[in-house]
């Protein structure tokens, strides 16, 4: 019985092949989560042998950690670009909240959840997750600090407010993966809590014009 012959992979430079493998791993993660990033799945996505993937990425834990960072950092850059044009801290914070709670971001939420879960037994991934959480904290804290400086917000501990916001968004986004409660209701839980924490009137964090105008992180990063 004849055996199917795998087509020989096209010859590419080391830089091109490494970049191709990173892109393949990222695509696998966005479709199936970090759990799906294996030698075989990445090799199949790129169209090479698992041995070739192992040659360029000999440590799968590092590849998974790097993939997590690539996916999450891309989302943060996208969200920062959405938020930046708004002039007032209140509008920037409202745009950030309503962008993050979009259901179109479920692919990245899945990567975050897998990062927390798999990171329990992977030091490289745990380090990557903590670094990205710090980066998000820095982004949110910058908005809260600006609002306190201009007098739009009243908060005695902006660091805690930023952490509070990210904790709520993470938890409610995870609930959204199983369609728990209405997305609008989840959004109101966040805005109501933040309005209270920042001394804002009710409804101040309603989505500003133009917020949530993206079609989702996967499309934006493609």
Q: Which residue has the tokens 């970049």?
A: 19
Answer yes or no: are the C-beta atoms of 183 and 103 closer than 8 Å. yes
In order of their start, the domains of the chain are 11-58 (1.10.10), 65-221 (1.10.357.10)
pLDDT by 10s per residue, the chain, length 222: 455 555 555 677 889 999 999 999 999 999 999 999 999 999 999 999 999 999 999 999 999 999 999 999 999 999 999 999 999 999 999 999 999 988 788 999 999 999 999 999 999 999 999 999 999 999 999 999 999 999 999 999 999 999 999 999 999 999 999 999 888 899 999 999 999 999 999 999 998 876 654 434 433 333
Question: Cα dist. 56→7, 46, 62, 220 in Å?
Answer: 19, 13, 11, 27
Say if residue 118 is exposed, middle or buried (CB neighbours under 10 Å; 0-12, 13-18, 19+).
Answer: buried
Report whether 196 contacts 153 (CB < 8 A): no
Lookup result for tokens 């992979």: 9
Helix (H, G, I), strand (E, B) or coil at 6: coil
């Amino acid at each position: 019985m004849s055996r199917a012959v795998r087509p020989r992979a096209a010859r590419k430079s080391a830089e091109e092949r490494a970049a191709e493998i990173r892109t393949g791993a990222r695509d696998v993660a966005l479709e199936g989560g970090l759990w799906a990033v294996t030698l075989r799945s990445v090799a199949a996505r790129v169209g090479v042998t698992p041995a070739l993937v192992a040659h360029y990425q000999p440590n799968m834990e590092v590849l998974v950690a790097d993939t997590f960072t690539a996916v999450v950092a891309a989302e943060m850059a996208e969200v920062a670009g959405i938020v930046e044009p708004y002039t007032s801290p209140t509008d920037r914070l409202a745009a950030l909240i309503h962008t993050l709670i979009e259901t179109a971001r479920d692919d990245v939420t899945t990567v975050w959840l897998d990062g927390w879960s798999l990171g329990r037994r992977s030091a490289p991934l745990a380090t990557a997750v903590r670094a990205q959480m710090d980066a998000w904290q820095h982004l949110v804290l910058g908005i809260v600090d600006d609002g306190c400086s201009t007098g739009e917000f009243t908060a005695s501990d902006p660091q805690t407010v930023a952490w509070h916001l990210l904790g709520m968004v993470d938890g409610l986004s995870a609930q959204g993966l199983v369609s728990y409660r209405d997305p609008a209701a989840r959004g109101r839980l966040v805005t109501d809590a933040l309005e209270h924490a920042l001394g804002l009137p009710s409804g101040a964090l309603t989505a500003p014009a133009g917020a949530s105008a993206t079609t989702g992180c996967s499309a934006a990063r493609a």
